[in-house]
Amino acid sequence: MYVVTGATGQLGRLVVEGLLAAVPAGEIAVVVRSAAKAEAWAERGVRVHEADYNRPGTLDGVFAAGDRVLLISGNELGSRVAQHGAVIDAAAAAGVALLAYTSAPGAATFRLADEHKATEELVRAAGVPHTLLRNGWYTENYLGDAAGTVERGVVLGSAGEGRVATAPRRDYADAAVAVLLGEGHENRVYELSGDAAWSLPELAAELSQASGRPVEHRNVSPAEHREVLVGAGVPEGFAEVFVDVDAGIARGELAGTPGDLARLIGRPTVPLAESVRAALKA
């Protein structure tokens, strides 16, 4: 059985759809907080488990010997190590054949990576065959409001000229599917990122070219960056995360392009220009 946790999230949905394109639905199981959100998959024959990571007992019977499991990292900052640990313990107790985990780049020193590093230690200590998928930054993090950015005419950040090698979620999802379905990935670490790194000034230029409207880059201090994000409605905790990650980008921690992602998915990663055009069209 192929088991995907956090399956109704943005990445998880893409992974499940990728599996459904490759194997019968009866060979797939999803672990979700709300079964109602997975009804469409259940109707197609996917096995649905409703579980709460904060209540480890709800994970009883979710995994079985021989399962190949993808643990997609949670989004409750500050609680994720305990939550991930509950899944890891349940998977290890069941004797799964593979436990893959979506982690953070090994070079990352920003605070968002701390819980990922702690989870990696739990995965290694569990003693099960595992794969660490160290996902880089998603291109969508910058293009969720591409039209609004063009309307405002400003790409704002505090990363300076720092470069970031992003890829769309679809590429990372395809890599996870390749690991779940493939062989020889046991006890491997993959540093996943886009094929090319780019800077915020280059993003502004791409938006300008694709839209035909002037878009400039404005670099601000971390304090001003945080203030702008909070003013735009971003919760303070997440604003702090984005500012801290920008500091990491300025240090070059998300600029690596080792090529692991392209090798896993068997094609080049989607370039920034293509993602920009698609976001503006959408």
Domains of the chain, by residue range, sit at 2-135, 139-167+195-255+270-282
Residues 2-135: name the CATH superfamily.
NAD(P)-binding Rossmann-like Domain (3.40.50.720)
Q: Choose among 80, 91, 25: nearest CA to 53.
A: 80
Q: Choose among 249, 253, 205, 246: nearest CA to 229.
A: 246
Tokens 């096995």 belong to: 47
Strand, coil or helix: 271: coil
Residue 76: predicted pLDDT: 86
The answer to whether residues 35 and 50 touch, using CB atoms and an 8 Å cutoff, is yes
Q: Residue 40: CA atoms inside 13 Å, Cβ hemisphere, count?
A: 7
The answer to whether residues 193 and 105 touch, using CB atoms and an 8 Å cutoff, is yes
d(CA 276, CA 282): 10
- Percentage helix, strand, coil, to 5, in the chain? 50, 15, 35
Residue 121's beta-bridge partner residues?
A: none
139-167+195-255+270-282 sits in which CATH class? alpha beta
Strand, coil or helix: 258: coil
Roughly how many angstroms between the first and final C-alpha of the chain, as a whole number? 35
Q: Choose among 110, 133, 114, 77: nearest CA to 254.
A: 110
Residue 98: predicted pLDDT: 98
Please tell me what DSSP assigns to residue 24. Answer: -
Residue 78: predicted pLDDT: 85
Note the pTM of the prediction, 2 decimals.
0.96
Ramachandran assignment for 160, one of left (phi > 0), alpha (psi -120 to 50 degrees), beta (any other) = left
| Torsion sign, CA atoms 120, 158, 238, 255 | negative
Q: Kindly list the distances between the CA atom of residue 277 and the CA atoms of 144, 157, 205, in Å, as whole numbers in the listed order.
A: 13, 21, 12
Strand, coil or helix: 282: coil
Q: What φ, ψ does residue 63 adopt, rounded to 5°? A: -110, 155
Q: How would you write the pLDDT of the chain (282 residues) with one tens digit per residue?
A: 999 999 999 999 999 999 999 999 999 999 999 999 999 999 999 999 999 999 999 999 999 999 999 999 998 888 999 999 999 999 999 999 999 999 999 999 999 999 999 999 999 999 999 999 999 999 999 999 999 999 999 999 999 999 999 999 999 999 999 999 999 999 999 999 999 999 999 999 999 999 999 999 999 999 999 999 999 899 998 899 999 999 999 999 999 999 999 999 999 999 999 999 999 998
Residue 77: predicted pLDDT: 87
Helix (H) or strand (E) holding 94: helix 80-94
d(CA 197, CA 163): 6
Residue 16: predicted pLDDT: 98
